[in-house]
């Protein structure tokens, strides 16, 4: 079976009108959008989604940020898509993310307690299946 990953366009991406550009980069790379939805997250969804980060200093700012507006959730398919999308997304911090990546080209630091970095992508096949179950159940 082809690999799947969960991609989120975070509230900063949706609010800044970058959803189309971000999805276009995924499609231009050759991956397939298998499921796509505009969703308003809940605290419960986000606490499950980000469970590995509970207790870290950025956790509460991260949850507040992710509740600040709708997100676009997508299941994206293709061979090695987990690795491939994370490569397209770039490093976590937009300030130093490589130019050419989504975060490097479209993001910056806004002086806040959380890095607003436009996108989420699952980091392993186990995370992908777990996260797809949270957002598309």
**Binding site as annotated, residues:** 10, 58, 86, 92, 103, 117
DSSP letters for 126-137: HHHHHHHHHH--
120 is catalytic: yes
**Cα–Cα dist 108/46, whole Å:** 23
**Cα–Cα dist 70/67, whole Å:** 7
Q: What is the CA radius of gyration of the chain?
A: 14
CB of 58 to ligand UDP, least distance (A): 4
Among the candidate windows 37-45, 73-81, 114-122, 125-133, which touches ligand UDP by CB under 6 A?
114-122
Token couple for 15: 């609010």
62 sits near ligand UDP (criterion: CB under 6 A) = yes
Token couple for 6: 């969960």
- Which of these is catalytic: 120, 122, 128, 131? 120
Q: Which is nearer to ligand UDP, 1 or 44 (CB)?
A: 44
Interaction site with ligand UDP (CB under 6 A): 53, 58, 62, 92, 114-115, 117, 120, 123
């Amino acid at each position: 079976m082809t690999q799947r990953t969960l991609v989120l366009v975070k509230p900063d991406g949706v609010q800044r009108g970058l959803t189309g550009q971000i999805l276009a980069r995924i499609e231009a790379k050759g991956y397939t959008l298998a499921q796509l939805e505009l969703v308003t997250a809940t605290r419960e969804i986000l606490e499950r989604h980000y469970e590995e980060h509970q207790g870290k200093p950025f956790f509460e700012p991260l949850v507040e940020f992710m509740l600040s507006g709708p997100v676009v959730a997508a299941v994206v398919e293709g061979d090695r898509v987990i690795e491939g999308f994370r490569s397209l997304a770039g490093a976590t911090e937009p300030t130093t993310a490589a130019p050419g990546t989504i975060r490097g080209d479209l993001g910056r630091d806004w002086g806040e307690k959380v890095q607003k970095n436009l996108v989420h992508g699952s980091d392993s096949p186990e995370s992908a299946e777990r996260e797809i179950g949270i957002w598309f159940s």
